[in-house]
Structure 1
Amino acid sequence: MADEERLDYTRKLLDDVRFPQPIPPDFDPVAATPEQLAQYGLPLRPSMDEAPHDFARWEKMVTELKGMELVRPSFKVIQRDVTSRTRDRYEAQKWKKTNWAGAVISDFVFNLVESDWTVPRPEPGQGDHIAWYSAAYVGLDGYRMNSDDVLAGGTGHDYYTAKNGFYKTYAWFEWYPAYPVELEGFPVRPCDRVFCEVLGDLPRDDKKGAFFIYNYTTGKYTSLSFCAPPGVGLRGDSAEWIVEGEEPEANFHVVEFDRCRAQKTNRRWYNLSSAATVTSTCEDGTVCTATIQDDETVIVRYGGARDK
């Protein structure tokens, strides 16, 4: 796909972005309808009866949010030589197998995926370059070969050699084939603890999506709703917890995705008990591995160069 076409898709996506209203002091999220939760940009409520532990964590978080700052960030398009995936089947297969590592569930139709993690501090990766890149995210539709979209959001961690070397960390979201978009003005720093959720509106509307991020460390959050780029719709055919590295990949050390959950369109919640892991091996020799530690945790490690 031509760069200009992707840029046009991205402009249309950003033109449609909507921010939620601030949470009123007297708002009761436990008694709220799903529509009211969406109005204030809050994550969906787990069932108190079917998932009591998840409900308790959700209740604690949304109660905290009532006193936190809602940020309305500005947008910066992330346009590099290679970003995310391509529609070409061969290239999609290459993307899937070589430059991301993590956990995937692909046996059902999902409407939501979420997780907590700690933002890593990036360092230079392999080779002699001017920059290295990595991103941690939760996503939908990134695994199946017949999927032509990716709805994702998370944190980026880049390292640059200019000015004696410096790193950059930031929040971002994406609905491919639009470009990824940085959320400028939403602070994300190494060692910050974040919660991210990507949400669709299946089965009612495959053109609607949303991204929510809460920085536990700073007490700030933001929530965005938007429509799909032209010509694509959410399939929900996979849920992913991923660290992706555009080559050259930054050394992110370790990202531990905790409280990994995904929700089917029938509102049933799933953890990692049925997930598969994916290991990345980039062309520059960088290897990243994923290990499922328990039903809610997958650990992704940067391993450096593979053995020759």
Structure 2
Amino acid sequence: MTKSIPHSLAMAAVLAIGCLAADAQQYSTAVALPGVPNITTYNSVPEGFDPAAASDTELQQFGFPKRPDISDTKAYGRWLQAVSVTRITPELVVNTGRYHRPNQRVGQSTVVENTTHSSSGNWSGWSLIGGSPVFDEVVGLWVVPNVGSSTSTTNGFMSEWVGIDGNCKCNDLIQDGTEQQFTGGKATYYAWIEFIPEAEVIVKNLTVAPGDVIYAYSAVAVQSGKIVGVYYLANYNTKKAVSATIAIPPKTTFSGLSAEWIVERTEVNGSFTNPLPNYAYAYMDDAWAYRSGSSHAIDYTAEANENIVMVQGTTQLSKSFEQDADSMWFQWLAYF
């Protein structure tokens, strides 16, 4: 005989869920910006809230990255460090005309074992490609490179980021990262989030400087029946973090067919063939992706992957090479 749940217990469960949802709404804000109308920002958390003890549902409702497998001590430890940083309410502004575009492939590719070697007009770095289930999370940790020692007087723009999609036959790209640019004889640095095809959104109050250690997390989720890009950025030097979501743009389809770790020539006012500022070397660690339904971290070369060199014509501008299973180096080679 099937036992029925007592009415009082059922009502208590419903009320608890309702209170949790209402409580979560108190700590998030709907934001509409020109060209990016459907943003949610996450504010401070309830007093006493402990991400390590929270349920998966609570982590999502309060804007935290998903918890990785606790048996993976490095991935779990990095996650715990990221979610323990003081969270501030992000102050956002759309940077019109600024985009971090999908891979602009050029030339032919070659395959050696499980790595495809290719060239791009705007990307350098690594990408996991294909497979099943789809990718739905990507993580990276890097030291912000210094472009202030540039010997060129020409303006240059570069970005370092993690993302999902953009290296496949798809029209979406969920990503967050840092911008390093040299314009008017001086260097500028800032953090940003983006859901292509919409423009870059600057996080004004998450300050970024050369040498800062940045944790970046991009993911996809379904909230209130709608697909959203999920973003979490932490600066370990300033001990501040921000969290936000952006609803999937109109006429855009989430694919989940690639995950990437990239240094890029940023598109500015329709062009990404601007000079690449001299960043010398850039280091990225914790280069992991996750597949839907799994909390197991996948190293960036553990499955079929692509190593991408940035070129302009026959000149190599930037390349990336392995440090170990989950870390890599980027190397600047030329301005243009």
Residue 99 to residue 123, structure 1, CA distance change in 2 (3 Å)? farther
Matches within 5 A, 1:189-208: 189-201=209-221, 207-208=227-228
Alignment of 1:98 with 2:117, yes or no, is no
Q: CA deviation at 1:84?
A: 3.5
How many residue pairs get aligned? The number is 282
Alignment of 1:36 with 2:36, yes or no, is no
Q: Secondary structure at the match of 2:120?
A: helix
**Residue identity matched to 1:147:** C
Matches within 5 A, 1:143-158: 143-144=167-168, 146-158=169-181
Q: Secondary structure at the match of 2:74?
A: helix
| 1-structure distance, mates of 2:228, 2:127 | 22
Q: Secondary structure at the match of 1:60?
A: helix
Partner residue of 2:94? 76
Partner residue of 2:73? 52
Alignment root-mean-square deviation, CA: 2.7
The answer to whether the 8 A contact 1:116-1:260 is kept is yes
Residue 280 to residue 69, structure 1, CA distance change in 2 (3 Å)? same
**Residue identity matched to 2:165:** D
5+ long unaligned stretches in structure 2: 1-31, 108-118, 266-271
Q: CA deviation at 1:195?
A: 0.1
| 2-structure distance, mates of 1:278, 1:103 | 6
Q: CA deviation at 1:19?
A: 1.3
Matches within 5 A, 1:156-305: 156-161=179-184, 165-201=185-221, 207-245=227-265, 246=272, 247-267=274-294, 268-272=296-300, 273-274=302-303, 275-283=305-313, 285=315, 287-304=317-334
| 2-structure distance, mates of 1:119, 1:71 | 22
The answer to whether the 8 A contact 1:277-1:292 is kept is no
Provide, for residues 23-63 of structure 1, a one-character-per-residue CA deviation record: whole Å limited to 9, x for no partner.
Answer: 234222223122211222211101123x233223322332x
Provide, for residues 101-146 of structure 1, a one-character-per-residue CA deviation record: whole Å limited to 9, x for no partner.
Answer: 01110133200101100111114769763x10000000111111x1
| 1-structure distance, mates of 2:212, 2:70 | 29
Deviates more, 1:104-113 or 1:280-289: 280-289
Deviates more, 1:230-239 or 1:263-272: 263-272
| 2-structure distance, mates of 1:271, 1:223 | 24
Which structure has greater strand proportion?
2
| 2-structure distance, mates of 1:284, 1:123 | 27
Q: Secondary structure at the match of 2:40?
A: coil
Percentage of pairs with the same residue: 23
| 1-structure distance, mates of 2:232, 2:311 | 30
Partner residue of 1:5? none
Which structure has greater helix proportion?
1
**Residue identity matched to 1:224:** A
Residue 128 to residue 35, structure 1, CA distance change in 2 (3 Å)? same
The answer to whether the 8 A contact 1:125-1:304 is kept is no
Greater than 6 Å deviation, 4+ residue runs: 124-127, 202-206
TM-score (normalizing by structure 1): 0.83
Partner residue of 2:145? 120
**Residue identity matched to 1:220:** K
Partner residue of 1:110? 135
Residue 39 to residue 238, structure 1, CA distance change in 2 (3 Å)? same
TM-score (normalizing by structure 2): 0.76
The answer to whether the 8 A contact 2:125-2:307 is kept is yes
Provide, for residues 153-186 of structure 1, a one-character-per-residue CA deviation record: whole Å limited to 9, x for no partner.
Answer: 100000013xxx1110000111111112222222
| 1-structure distance, mates of 2:202, 2:329 | 24
Partner residue of 1:139? 163
The answer to whether the 8 A contact 1:153-1:174 is kept is yes
Kindly name which structure, 1 or 2, has the bigger radius of gyration based on alpha carbons. 2
The answer to whether the 8 A contact 2:167-2:258 is kept is yes
| 1-structure distance, mates of 2:149, 2:313 | 16
Partner residue of 1:3? none
